[in-house]
Amino acid sequence: MKEQVDRAMELSGQPVKRGSMAHDHDVYMVLADAAAQSQDVDAIKQYAPRLEELATRDGHKLYLAIAHRAHGIAQCLAGEHAKAEGRLNDALKIFDELGTRWQIGRTLFALGELETARSKKPKAREYFTRALAEFESLEANPDIERAHAALKKLG
């Protein structure tokens, strides 16, 4: 699928006969976010920088925060915990400003994973519990299950 998307990105989107076509920043947001969710570091490194560049250029705060979170997840997976914490907190700050509760929950969950990687169970539990509260308020059942599983794994 990744190869097909990459080939499609090289094609012209014109002419558009009905509706509108996705802009580059929309496509890169989907690709970077999917890469972050699947913890595909190579794909994050490919798509998140371009998303960040376009979001900054366009003043798109939501997409900028998604880029920050993707970078933070990649950094966490690479063991760059201090950098990851900075990126994830940057993302959380923007999501808080925007009031995007599901995105807040996902970022809190990523912070919980970071603290788990650092072997800081109490802090990880705090983040997972906060993420769970956000997910429960939205009835986001798959995310609720993930948060419960993460808390159970902590013991």
Task: Residue count of the chain, please give it.
Answer: 155
Same domain, 144 and 155: yes
Report the number of distinct structural domains present in the chain: 2
Q: Are 124 and 115 in contact (CB under 8 A)?
A: yes
Same domain, 32 and 84: yes
Same domain, 24 and 74: yes
76 is written with which tokens?
A: 């966490």
Instruction: Please give the average per-residue pLDDT across 122-140, as a whole number.
Output: 98
Same domain, 80 and 66: yes
Q: What is the pTM of this model?
A: 0.87
Taking 80 as the threshold, does the pLDDT of residue 6 lie above it? no
Per-residue pLDDT tens digits for 137-147? 999 999 999 99
Q: What is the mean pLDDT of the chain?
A: 90
Q: Among 78, 99, 120, where does a domain finish?
A: 99
Q: Are 67 and 75 in contact (CB under 8 A)?
A: no
Per-residue pLDDT tens digits for 59-72? 999 999 999 999 99
Q: Among 72, 99, 126, where does a domain finish?
A: 99
Q: Among 55, 74, 99, where does a domain finish?
A: 99
Same domain, 142 and 111: yes
Determine the Cα–Cα distance for residues 131 and 147; give it in Å rounded to an integer. 7
Same domain, 87 and 121: no
Same domain, 39 and 2: yes
Dihedral (CA of 91, 73, 5, 105) sign:
negative
Determine the Cα–Cα distance for residues 127 and 97; give it in Å rounded to an integer. 18
Same domain, 14 and 87: yes
- 45: domain range? 1-99
Same domain, 22 and 69: yes
Beta strands in the chain (DSSP E): none
